[in-house]
Chain A
Amino acid sequence: MSAASPAHDTHHDDHAHAHPTGLKRWLFTTNHKDIGTLYLWFALAMFFTGGVMALLIRAELFQPGLQFVNPEFFNSLTTVHGLVMVFGAIMPAWVGFANWLIPMQIGAADMAFPRMNNWSFWLVVPAAILLVASFFVPGGAAASGWTLYPPLIIQQGISIDMTILAVHILGASSIMGSINIITTILNLRAPGMTLMKMPLFVWTWLITAYLLIAVMPVLAGAVTMLLTDRHFGTSFFNAAGGGDPTMFMHIFWFFGHPEVYIMILPAFGVVSAIIPAFARKPLFGYASMVYATASIAILSFIVWGHHMFTVGMPAAGNLFFMYATMLIAVPTGVKVFNWIATMWQGSMTFETPMLFSIGFICLFTIGGFSGLVLAVTPVDITIHNTYYVVAHFHYVLVSGALFSLFAGAYFWLPKFTGKMYNESLGKLHFWLSVIGFNIAFFPQHFLGLAGMPRRIPDYALQFAEWNMWSSIGAFIFGFSQLLFLYNVIECIRSSRKAADNPWEGADTLEWTHLPSPAPYHSFETAPVVK
Chain B
Amino acid sequence: MDAALAARNRETMTKLLVICVAMLGFGFAMVPMYRQICESLGIAQTRAVGAANTQVDASRSVTVELVASSGKLPWRFEALEREVKLHPGQLVTVNYRVVNTLGRPVTAQAVMSTAPSEAGKYIEKQACFCFSNQTIGAGEERIMPVVFLVSPKAPKDLTTISLSYTFLELPGSAS
Contact = CB atoms under 8 A, between A and B. Distances in A.
Interface string A172-213: 000100110011001110000000000000000000000001
Nearest to A219: B27
A242 interface: yes
Interface string A217-240: 111111001000000000010010
A312 B13 contact: no
Contacts of A214: 19, 23
Contacts of A215: 23
B157 interface: no
B31 A236 contact: yes
Interface in B14-50: 16-17, 19-21, 23-24, 26-28, 30-31, 34, 41, 43, 46-49
Interface of A: 8, 11-12, 109, 112-113, 175, 178-179, 182-183, 186-188, 213-222, 225, 236, 239, 242, 244-247, 250-251, 254, 312-314
B126 interface: no
Contacts of B174: none
Interface in B45-104: 46-49
Interface size class of B (residues with CB under 8 A): 20 to 34
A152 B68 CA distance: 51
A246 B1 contact: no
Contact of A222 (B17, B21, B27): B27
A182 B26 CA distance: 21
11 contacts: A175-B20, A179-B16, A179-B20, A182-B12, A214-B23, A217-B24, A217-B26, A218-B26, A221-B27, A225-B31, A254-B30
Interface stretch (B3-11, B113-121, B160-168): B3-11
A244 B48 contact: yes
A106 to B, nearest CB: 14
Interface of B: 1-3, 5-6, 8-9, 12-13, 16-17, 19-21, 23-24, 26-28, 30-31, 34, 41, 43, 46-49
B22 to A, nearest CB: 8
B34 A239 contact: no
* Interface majority SS (helix, strand, loop, mixed), chain B: helix
Given A218-B30, A244-B47, 11 more contacts: A11-B6, A109-B1, A112-B13, A186-B12, A213-B20, A214-B23, A215-B23, A225-B31, A239-B48, A242-B49, A314-B41
A11 B23 contact: no
A276 B89 CA distance: 74
B37 to A, nearest CB: 10
A421 to B, nearest CB: 35
B27 A312 contact: no
Nearest to B48: A239
B2 to A, nearest CB: 7
Given A11-B1, A217-B21, A312-B43, A247 B30 contact: yes
Contact of A183 (B3, B12, B46): B12
Contacts of B21: 217
A247 B48 CA distance: 11
B16 A183 contact: yes
Contacts of A219: 27
A254 B9 CA distance: 29
A151 B21 CA distance: 27
